[in-house]
Structure 1
């Protein structure tokens, strides 16, 4: 070891001896035969001491005689969980992410459920059987509870996986959600005219045999929409910054859908459902395109495909509102699958889905009924 000229050499401090069984406390040369506590330049300064504390029970480690360092606190910032998101919404702190994909999904699916229930209840009123609405509400409540439990359970199970398994589940889940969502959009457009007649036929059959089967009709209708909603929300969670934001947006969409459903059933508000389903369907097509591209991205990473022809980024945005970390980025990512640095295969998958599906959607616009709620209001 080299020292400055003129400075007396100081012998290095010998390392402390480990305490033998039955010996005294380390750091005291009077009890355990060890060396005295280091002093001078070997002593830990005050700032360093302030960053340390005693371990569990305030004792030293029996093996090394050292004090365990304190675990550093988490960095300052809002926790990414449901409690923070709910508190943020309650305090009115602006955050546009929760009103993205999950709000749109539950608003549309919830309004479809409300429309089905309104048709059933209005037809029962028309047949002068308002007392039979109780089985309808029982079937609705049971279906909602089953879908809620199934959605939460599946979310918890998926959250337990990590690494390649998590990537595989997210990729398959995103692709499945995109496929089911596409089927739902076009099915609703093709069967909107027949929905009212089919429900009336089922209600007539139920009243002729056993009125209690009205609960089964309501259960099947609500459960189908509920399981679709759970699948879509799980898919939306793969593109969202946090699961709490998906939950808050989903609850907000359900509340709005319930209010609109009550207004439609009571006849206090007229909503052009043709236009509503047309524009929400268009947004859901773009959302499904983002899910499809997200699924392809996850599977590419899972199989380790790093060829530049598919894995090279098309663009990279590091600053501005479209960069990762901003609220605009999170909103667009959750709703449309936006990425600040997408690879070529992800952009290609997005366009490969969006272009043909959007063309089919626009071409079939004329097949949608003009106004759906008018027969419901007339029956009520």
Structure 2
């Protein structure tokens, strides 16, 4: 590769990070008008809604009581939940369980005295909230930064591997078509940014609440991650992966048409860019007031990708492909299970799904937040079903890989 093209690789990655950084910052500015939380004001609002909900329940208006209970959590407690979680994740978790239990008792038509005892317990917890919330910690920003880094790095490293393989194939078979490949790849970057902008505009005009929108975007992200993980799992065998890349390159080279090769470069990058846009939009919606740390993750991932691209495309270094694919699949699967847990929990808080509170074994709250574990039967069942599906897919892929490995010596002996 010439020096000019090496600089082109780095320039494309720098342009990608600058574009995504500016769009994330703009999105953050639109969704976060005031970065501070008036804790005492929110606590007063919660107590007022608790009293109104209790009065409505005693009048027999259970629907109004449930609506006020949801409002207390979604409109007020969630605003102080992020700094509270950083300061004391175990206490935050306990308060979440109490709010969920409050709604469950209303839906079960429990005795007013039982609800009154729970509300007294919640009020006692609110007394401690103001004491617990102190200076910001590092857990939440670190988690958001790592998640942001993982999204861009995973998508970017796959794009780098594909482009490197295609360039290697074209170098051998038709070097003149490498330039159109670069042109198509470069055009995919502004197209990916445009996809992000379209998502931002559409989500702004959709006539639904922020919480429901966050849940829908999370579910879309889960579906996307399931598709990505299963797609990669089918190609965990290095030979299958290279056959897939060569088949795509051969289709473009066989036409001898520069526009076909440019389209191949465009679709290769744009597929990753569009997936990244959807995943980041979901992340921004979930990481309210921590958007700066999303940008930090993007910048870190872009720098890592620039170094990786220089090594793989510029210097011809090789990566342990099977190891990378295995790690990428595991990360995506774990992330999808966690996001699914958070999405189901949000739908329960909004009243779209039933709530059945269960006791979870004692565990580190940072780990449970990372895994999206919430103390309801519905979230655990959804996550368990997805985990079981992944285990079945891994078992099938492992058996297929074993058969393929065993068949290779036989094929060589038979002269195939």
Corresponding residue of 1:134: 179
Corresponding residue of 1:179: 223
Distance 1:251 1:112 in 2: 18
Distance 1:226 1:357 in 2: 25
Task: Give the superposition deviation at 1:154.
Answer: 1.4
The structure-2 alpha-carbon separation of the partners of 1:74 and 1:179, relative to structure 1 and needing over 3 Å to count, comes to closer
Task: Give the superposition deviation at 1:284.
Answer: 1.0
Confirm or deny that 1:101 pairs with 2:147.
yes
Confirm or deny that 1:211 pairs with 2:258.
yes
In the alignment, structure 1 segments of 5+ residues that lack a partner are 1-72, 81-92, 323-327, 371-380
Q: CA RMSD in A?
A: 3.4
Corresponding residue of 1:336: 371
8 Å contact from structure 1 (residues 114, 258) kept in 2: no
Residue-by-residue CA offset, 1:25-57 (whole Å, 9 max, x unaligned): xxxxxxxxxxxxxxxxxxxxxxxxxxxxxxxxx
Corresponding residue of 1:143: 188
Distance 1:290 1:168 in 2: 18
What SS does the corresponding residue of 1:96 show, helix, strand or coil? helix
From 209, 212, 235, give the equivalent of 1:165: 209
Count residues with an aligned counterpart: 266
Corresponding residue of 2:391: 358
8 Å contact from structure 1 (residues 98, 248) kept in 2: no
Distance 2:161 2:198 in 1: 28
8 Å contact from structure 1 (residues 190, 367) kept in 2: no
Distance 1:321 1:239 in 2: 21
Structure possessing the higher radius of gyration over alpha carbons: 1
From 261, 264, 277, give the equivalent of 1:230: 277
Confirm or deny that 1:199 pairs with 2:248.
yes
8 Å contact from structure 1 (residues 167, 298) kept in 2: yes
Name the TM-score, length of structure 1 as normaliser: 0.60
Residue-by-residue CA offset, 1:261-281 (whole Å, 9 max, x unaligned): 331224453320110110121
8 Å contact from structure 1 (residues 206, 212) kept in 2: no
**Segments ≥4 residues shifted beyond 6 Å:** none
In the alignment, structure 2 segments of 5+ residues that lack a partner are 1-34, 40-81, 83-137, 236-240, 406-416
Task: Give the superposition deviation at 1:185.
Answer: 1.3
Residue-by-residue CA offset, 1:329-362 (whole Å, 9 max, x unaligned): 7xx74x53355xx433222222221232134225
Corresponding residue of 2:164: 118
Task: Give the superposition deviation at 1:289.
Answer: 0.7
Task: Give the superposition deviation at 1:128.
Answer: 5.3
Q: Which has the higher helix share?
A: 2
What SS does the corresponding residue of 1:270 show, helix, strand or coil? coil
The structure-2 alpha-carbon separation of the partners of 1:252 and 1:218, relative to structure 1 and needing over 3 Å to count, comes to same
Distance 1:75 1:238 in 2: 17
Residue-by-residue CA offset, 1:290-314 (whole Å, 9 max, x unaligned): 1222222222233355x5xx34253
Q: Which residues in structure 2 correspond to 1:1-380 (within 5 Å)?
A: 96-127=142-173, 129=175, 131-158=176-203, 165-191=209-235, 192-207=241-256, 210-240=257-287, 242-303=290-351, 305=353, 310-312=355-357, 314-315=359-360, 322=365, 328=366, 333=369, 336-338=371-373, 342-365=375-398, 367=400
8 Å contact from structure 1 (residues 173, 235) kept in 2: yes
8 Å contact from structure 2 (residues 170, 249) kept in 1: no
Name the TM-score, length of structure 2 as normaliser: 0.55
Distance 1:161 1:135 in 2: 39
